[in-house]
Structure 1
Amino acid sequence: MLSLKDFEAAEDRLKNVIHDIPLSTSHTFSDMTGAEVYLKYENQQKTGSFKVRGAFNKIMKRYAEGGLKAVVASSAGNHAQGVAFAASSIGVPSTIVMPRSTPIAKVSATQGYGAEVVLAGNIYDEAYARACEICEETGAEFIHPFDDEDVMAGQGTIALEILRDLPFVDMIFVPVGGGGLISGVAACAKQINPRIQIIGVQAEGAPAVANSLRVGELTPSETVRTIADGIAVKTPGTTTFEYIKQYVDRVVTVSDAEIASTVLLLLERTKQVVETSGAASLAAVLGSKVDIKGKKVVCILSGGNIDVSFIHKIVEKGLVTRCRHLKFSTVMPDAPGALERFAHLVAEQNANIILFQHDRVQADLDIGEAIIQVVCEVGGVEHAKRLIDNLNKQGYQIFTTQV
């Protein structure tokens, strides 16, 4: 098992490579939760995520041992960039196998660090299988994204930094995919202070670690479906799972809606671009998945490599989740002035219509009726309820709202 000396050695290898990112306090999120919330912005890290820590530590250790000629990795994006960066820094060629669903921005960034990118499969596990085939064909060395103790030691250096900034931290929330990050952080933190609680956070659509802990043995998910591509892993590592069983206190799950809402909050309140998997830790805190009242809590925001073309989808999802966009339908007379009257009533409530669809041919409508689909911009749940109540009083029956 990894010892504190392993984490300290990894930190020494990384000291002139990674960015020093101190903890940031958040009065906004502290007020929202009743805890002292601190954020570890690994989205600001070199290559845009924590993954560079483990990849660099592994490759530098192997390079020092001798015989490292070429490396291969499989990744949804962040590990890919870490491996490509580390390999290029010592002149070792790298090949990265990525799922076909990987955002273009992550593919381009990986190529920009000097790697050859191969797209294979639809999820990480299928890309991993192809990477293993390439290793057999070429004799290159595989750099595992999580199930490797040298990689885990690199990731665990985050815990050393957290404890220097906040020695009396009570809880650390960590996004979980394959388990490399949480294994390293948990093993390091618990050896320094066993009192610290380590909480893992998975997406509801990719809950393999949470399910495995519940049944007591490694249990892969049959399918994964989540917007958090960085933690969309079917099969966690066998080594990481042993560390998780020993050191992690609890693993909870968050929905895609909660993740999207958190990404939007981070954009609005902290002006930070955090990718969906990276925001999972804070989503669990804001969603009250664990009682944190009065605690000193750190959320590791594990990465910021989000495809710009995908951001608007996340923002739209977050706006709906937080009831900043209200979607509903209603039936009205198909007569002159009906639409004008409806729009006037909405405007009186200081709501803004941003999408409007009018249908007079739906089969279940009476002659002389039309149904409208509306999206309004509102200020939150209370504002939305006032709008709906007023429309109801004016004779409109409102359907399919999210309030």
Structure 2
Amino acid sequence: MTHPEIDRVTLEDVRAAARLLDGVVTRTPVQPFRAMTEVAGAPVVLKCENLQRAGSFKIRGAYTRLSRMSDDEKARGVVAASAGNHAQGVALAAQMLGIDAVVYMPVDASVPKLIATRGYGAEVRQIGTSVDEALVAARAEAARSGRTLIHPFDHLDVVTGQGTVALEILEQVPDVGTVVVPLGGGGLVAGIATVLAEAAPHVRVVGVQAETAAAYPASLAAGRPVPGTLGTTMADGIAIGTPGDVPFEVLARLGVEVRTVSEEEMSRALLLVAERGKQIVEPSGAAGVAAVLAAAPGSLPGVIVPVLTGGNVDPLLLVRVVQHGLVAAGRYLQLRVCIDDRPGSLAALLDAIAAAGANIVQVEHTRTDTSLTVSQVLVNVQLETKGHEHCTAVVEKLRAAGFDVSA
């Protein structure tokens, strides 16, 4: 049975999708995040879609879309394009419904996401360097083979399925005042905003993009989806070049606010969520928390609910991002110190560092730097520190002890 096309998603459509998804998706938990309450000036509660089946919210929209295809469409199979989370959602939904799936992914897609997508039974083809390039290939495959293209965000059924997140938030956090949502193509934000506009119009919705890959601000200013510049970002899950027509209409009509966050802000948020929230999320999944951290205290009304959209992070990337987050939080300090090339100089430096309360992680000792004289040695030292004030104090104490220090 085909699902009739409608001009706009409604609250009742989303409620119907929730009934369809009952027993298929996980009703993900919410978790009070007291570590952010003082910073935000209001209670913060995390919506943990990183604990969803296939590791992100994407299964909600993918299953809704695939289940409503005709028998003939199901028999011809589906094709999708994704950096990873939509890929896994489509692959899992297709496996559950007995539909053959081909998924195009960028050549630099996360290895764990590739393995998981194949593990759900989909055929993976890698092409291009972005989701937009993979989507071009997926459209060509759909035209050639007759497969149905399952767009990651630009379809009414996908928006409808993603909107079920908002129904759960309203039941789990009845006093919610603001929902902060990572924003790529816009399917999740559109679904959540649609539900809240009808069921709880007092609740504010904020979409969050990576500032180096943010197409929505310019599109909203232009009044139509326009291509944005895709710069380098760790948040591959929300790095989308052009907003979708369906979600853009929702965000524009409902006046959804869109903010951007920096790479440093996302890495700090990811670290905080891991260290204090005990949740592992990918950089894009932490974008909402990053926006709350960057906001002025008290500027977001009511109980704040950031949605942790996904937990499918490559362990190697996680190591790099955590280190970046430690630096951003003043928990990790790298220094270059020029010392005399004589016995005892290095020991004196290390003693001074210990006296300043910093823990030495790594020391590199070199005599070959072109800036040095024959009587000097350059020491590159990496330290564990206790925050920005401690970093400043360490540098000041070393300089007071007569060391030539540059951070």
| Of 339, 342, 348, the match for 1:341 | 348
Equivalent AA in structure 1 for residue 160 of structure 2: A
Q: Which runs of 5+ in 1 are unaligned?
A: none
User: Cα distance 1:215–1:330, how it changes in 2: closer, same or farther (>3 A)?
Assistant: farther
Q: Does residue 248 of structure 2 align to residue 241 of structure 1?
A: yes
Deviation at 1:224, TM superposition (A): 2.7
Aligned partner of 1:27 in structure 2 is: 34
Are 1:68 and 2:74 matched, yes or no? yes
- Picking from 173, 182, 186, the partner of 1:166 is 173
Structure 2 SS opposite 1:242: helix
Deviations 1:342-378 (A, max 9, x none): 0000011221111222232322323312222221111
The one-letter amino acid of 1:375's match is: Q
- Which string of whole-angstrom CA distances, capped at 9 and with x for unpartnered residues, describes residues 117-170 of structure 1? 000111101100111111112110000000011000000011111111223321
Alpha-carbon distance in structure 1 between the residues aligned to 2:297 and 2:388: 24
TM-score (norm 2): 0.94
Alpha carbons 1:39, 1:299 under 8 Å: kept:
yes
Matched AA of 1:28: A
TM score, norm. by length of structure 1 = 0.95
The amino acid that maps onto 1:204 is E
Q: Secondary structure, in 3 states, of the residue corresponding to 1:68?
A: helix
- The equivalences for 1:270-281 within 5 A come to 270-281=277-288
Partner of 1:87: 94
Which residue, 317, 328, 340 being the options, matches 1:321?
328
Aligned mate of 1:359, from 361, 366, 378: 366
1:171 alignment partner, SS class: strand
What do the CA deviations read for 1:314-365 (whole angstroms, capped 9, x no partner)?
A: 1111111111111121221121111010000001122111122223232232
Task: Please say if residues 84 and 114 of structure 2, whose CA atoms lie closer than 8 Å, have aligned partners that are also in contact.
Answer: yes
Q: How much does 1:28 deviate?
A: 1.3
Task: State the Cα deviation string for residues 177-218 of structure 1 (Å, max 9, x = none).
Answer: 111110111111111122211101001111111232234332
Checking the alignment, whether the CA contact within 8 Å between 1:175 and 1:202 is kept in structure 2 is yes
Does structure 1 residue 396 correspond to structure 2 residue 403?
yes
Deviates more, 1:50-59 or 1:258-267: 258-267
Question: Residues of 2 paired with 1:48 and 1:286: CA distance?
Answer: 24
Matched positions, count: 399
Identity %: 39
Tell me which residue corresponds to 1:227. 234
1:266 corresponds to 2:273:
yes
In 1, Cα distance between equivalents of 2:128 and 2:157: 27
> By how many angstroms is 1:384 displaced?
1.4
| In structure 2, C-alpha distance between the alignment counterparts of 1:242 and 1:398, rounded to whole Å | 54
Greater shift, 339-348 or 329-338, is seen at 329-338
Amino acid at match of 1:346: I
Partner of 1:129: 136
Q: Distance in 1 between matches of 2:69 and 2:272?
A: 41
Match among 21, 28, 45 for residue 38 of structure 1: 45
Gaps of 5+ in 2: 1-7
